[in-house]
Amino acid sequence: MTLDAYEKLCPLKSFINNFDDKERMTRYNDDDLLSGIRNSEKLKTVGLILIKNYYSLDMCREFKDQCCTYLNYRIDKEKDLYLKSKSDNASSQWHLIEELWKSLQLVRKGGTYCSRENGNESIDKMEKRMNLMVYCKIRDYFKRQCGVTKQSAYQYYCTNLPKYVDKYYEIFKTDNKCLNTENKEKDYSSYFSEDCNLYDIEKTFPQYDSSSGSLLEGPNTRESICKYVNNAVIQVSSEETVAEGPEASSEESTSPQAPLESLPYVGLTIVGFFSLFLFLYRYTTLGSSLRSLITGKNNTEQFIDEQIEQDLLDNTLEYKNHNSENDDYTFSYQALNN
């Protein structure tokens, strides 16, 4: 048997595969519960789907809750299609289907009870969530069956368990777009439970030995599908950026005008300092001290200049005297030779 054949043996998978079985619906054509909606063929078809599958919940055995959840999803999907295809007047007839569900609950008191759950999420999100739920429940079904047959010679569930997990890991990895959030529970389409979500790969897609179906030790080498993101940190940083933005922009907008606005103050400051210095120089002892200091500085500079001139003159005379002595020596030497 193939992997698909073993999947179909699961009661939940069997319920889903037979959901639209029209042959089984025909037996309910004359059901009294349909008397209120016989005037609309579309609503009658939806009514037949509801009656047939509500009665089939008993066959789900340990998957009754999941079959009920799936039934709610499929009726919500039919409702969405019906409301989109009809006018406002026709749309108001959908309440007949809701009344039919209530009637089924009363009639089936002794059987499986399934509450009507009005979903607030989009059909696309519901579908992704249902696919995830179905995968996890069949995965757990394979695990239980593997545990039952592990000591026997027929370990088909054990050998197919890793194949099943690998198959659906690739499907979810390809088809799903995640919110990538820190609060994974808020990701409706990618989180069903602690061991059934697209954030915790090790719990949702564990790695098994291909021959025995035993859980492999060590880290899971599968790549993450959905990732954790710290929204709180991102939110704070973005708020700080927003808060800093206006301040920075205001600084940029006012900076070109700042030099022009400060020119009068700079001019007044310079004039004030100059007036104060002039007053102190003329009418206070500070002025006399400054004048004496300036005069002394000039005398010192004059003395230094005179000293430099004298040194230059002395050096010149010394140079001339030295040359004269050399000339006399040369002259006397030539006279002796003659």
Q: Give the residue, 245 or 111, on which the prediction is more confident.
A: 111
250-304: per-residue pLDDT in tens?
444 444 454 445 555 556 667 666 666 666 656 666 556 656 655 555 554 554 4
Position 53 scores a pLDDT of 96
Q: Domain range spanning residue 76? A: 1-119
Q: Mean pLDDT over residues 167-178, rounded?
A: 90
Position 180 scores a pLDDT of 75
The Cα-based distances of 199 to 43, 186, 196, 261 in angstroms read: 39, 12, 9, 59
Number of domains within the chain: 4
Position 243 scores a pLDDT of 46
Position 172 scores a pLDDT of 95
193-246: per-residue pLDDT in tens?
999 999 999 999 999 887 777 777 667 889 889 887 765 333 333 444 444 444
> Mean pLDDT for the chain?
77
The answer on pLDDT for 307 being more than 50 is: yes
Position 161 scores a pLDDT of 94
Same domain as 3, residue 105: yes
Judge contact between 183 and 228, C-beta under 8 A. Answer: no
Distance separating alpha carbons of residues 84 and 88, to the nearest angstrom: 10
CA atoms within 13 A on the CB side of 74: 22
The answer on pLDDT for 24 being more than 80 is: yes
Position 245 scores a pLDDT of 47
Q: What is the DSSP string of 101-117?
A: HHHHHHHTTTS------
Percent of the chain with pLDDT over 90: 41
Same domain as 298, residue 328: yes
The Cα-based distances of 140 to 69, 86, 146, 149, 196 in angstroms read: 17, 41, 10, 14, 10
The answer on pLDDT for 61 being more than 70 is: yes
Q: Which of 119, 138, 164 is the last residue of a domain?
A: 119
Q: Give the residue, 332 or 305, on which the prediction is more confident.
A: 305
Distance separating alpha carbons of residues 114 and 223, to the nearest angstrom: 38
Same domain as 132, residue 83: no
Q: How confident is the model at residue 93 (pLDDT cuts 50, 70, 90)?
A: confident
Q: Which residues of 99-123 are buried (b: 16+ CB within 10 A; e: fewer)?
A: ebbeebeeeeeeebebeeeebeeee
Distance separating alpha carbons of residues 160 and 137, to the nearest angstrom: 15
Q: Mean pLDDT over residues 107-134, rounded?
A: 89
The answer on pLDDT for 72 being more than 80 is: yes
The answer on pLDDT for 311 being more than 70 is: no
Same domain as 28, residue 8: yes
Position 296 scores a pLDDT of 53
pTM of the model: 0.65
- Output the six-digit token pair for 68: 């009920």
Position 270 scores a pLDDT of 73
Q: Which of 214, 229, 244 is the last residue of a domain?
A: 229
Same domain as 244, residue 224: no
The answer on pLDDT for 121 being more than 50 is: yes
- The residue whose two tokens read 């050399």 is 326
Position 326 scores a pLDDT of 44
* Distance linking the first and last C-alpha atoms of the chain: 144
Position 120 scores a pLDDT of 86
Same domain as 24, residue 91: yes
The answer on pLDDT for 322 being more than 50 is: no
Position 219 scores a pLDDT of 79
The answer on pLDDT for 43 being more than 70 is: yes
Same domain as 169, residue 72: no
Same domain as 293, residue 325: yes
The answer on pLDDT for 4 being more than 50 is: yes
Same domain as 291, residue 277: no
Q: Which of 119, 152, 174 is the last residue of a domain?
A: 119
The answer on pLDDT for 105 being more than 80 is: yes
Same domain as 251, residue 149: no
